[in-house]
Structure 1
């Protein structure tokens, strides 16, 4: 679905069903150098089981036009403007990695609009090493290869994971390469810099008034579970679920992630 947001075209995947604002809405927000397609299994299930789905492509990513936003606060404001444009007053927000910070910040900018908040592969502060920032700026293909390796557990490096004949790592690498081809303006560096600079996470978490779910990959090297204490202890109504996966947990353990998200949405 194409939506006009502040005069610029934005794309939302609706899970193979026609958008119906009368249904309860679930909004999915991808991470750095990704697009809506990282949520394919989860969004299709939600859309065919009683929910209105909006899996967004953030500006400068996938099929959404315009320049990529350079900070988390601007991405969150854009997300709220998109919800205004489609007539969604309240929604469950689901974000992965950078997208989790966008979801958290959106809940802070517009208290009451998030009925529930699910954060996957998240941490705060979400610091990025200077070496990786420099590589993303000056050698993006190398940064893609590095992050792709760090985002997957050893289990995912088996070409038969999660399905025979499907390479989880190969698919993730091609997606990030495609984002570079669509937006050559150092997109990875822009996204990483936004994560690295975001400074409102603890305040937003402490102010959160809706139920929250954290889904962590037990083998995550990008946002390891041990780094999440600041965020999880700041949220008053937070539940934690661990799955046997790395940072790309939606593709490594799609069913486990779906089960946790759907149970949370229905509770």
Structure 2
């Protein structure tokens, strides 16, 4: 579905079903150097089981137009503009990695519009090492290779994961390469810099009143489980679900992630 947000084209995948503003809505927000397709194994199920799905491409990513946003705050403002354009007054937000910060900040900016927040592969502060920041600026292909190694557990390197003949790491790497081809203006560096600079996470987490879910990869090297303690301690009512996966948990353990999200939606949409 194509919408107009902040005077530019915004693309939202709807899970293969027509959008109906009368149904409860779940918004999926991807992470750095990704697009809506990282949610393919969760969004279609939601769309065919009673929910509206809006899996966004952030500006500068995928099919959405305009320059990539340079801050989490700007991405969150854009996301609220997408909800306006879709005629959605209230939605559950699901974000992965950088997208989890966008969901968190959007809930802080407009708490009355958010029925629940699910954060996957999250942490705060979401600091990026100086070496990776510099590599993302000066040698993006090398940064893509580095992040793919760090984002997947050894389980993902088995060619049978998640199904025979599928290379989870290969799909992820090719998607990031495609994002580079679409937007050659140091997209990875822009995304990483936004994550690194975001400073409102603690205040936003403490302000959360809606149902909150944290889905944590037990083998995540990018945002290790231990690094989520600041966020989870700020949200006393938050639920934590651990899955046997690395940072790319939606593709490594699609069924476990879907089960956790769908159960959560039943209580928060």
| Correspondence for 1:194 | 194
Unaligned stretches of 5+ residues in structure 1: none
The Cα offsets for residues 163-217 of structure 1, whole Å up to 9 and x where unpaired, read as 1100000000000000000000000000000000000000000000101000000
Q: Which residue of 1 is the match for residue 45 of structure 2?
A: 45
In the other structure, the counterpart of 2:58 is 58
Name the structure 1 match of 2:32: 32
Partner of 1:87: 87
Aligned to 2:218: 218
Distance 1:162 1:82 in 2: 32
Could you say which residue in structure 2 is the equivalent of 1:255?
255
Q: CA deviation at 1:236?
A: 2.8
Find the residue that maps to 2:17 and give its secondary structure.
Answer: coil
Secondary structure of 1:228's partner?
A: helix
Counterpart CA distance in 2 for 1:155 and 1:197 is 32
Q: Hey, what's the Cα distance between the residues in 2 that align with 1:120 and 1:163?
A: 22
The runs of at least 4 consecutive aligned structure 1 residues that moved more than 4 Å come to none
Alignment of 1:112-127 (within 5 A): 112-127=112-127
Q: Is the 8 A contact 1:208 1:236 kept in 2?
A: no
Q: Could you report, residue by residue, the CA deviation over 1:199-246 in whole angstroms, capped at 9, with x for unpaired residues?
A: 000000000010100000000000000111100000132000000000
Q: Tell me which residue corresponds to 2:135.
A: 135
Look up the match of 1:157: 157
**Count, aligned residues:** 267
The equivalent of 2:229 in structure 1 is 229
Q: Secondary structure at the match of 1:32?
A: coil
- Which whole-Å CA distance do the structure 2 matches of 1:263 and 1:109 have between them? 26
Q: Which runs of 5+ in 2 are unaligned?
A: none
**Residue in 1 that maps onto 2:69:** 69
Does the alignment pair 1:23 with 2:23? Answer: yes
Measured after TM superposition, the shift of residue 6 of structure 1 is: 1.6
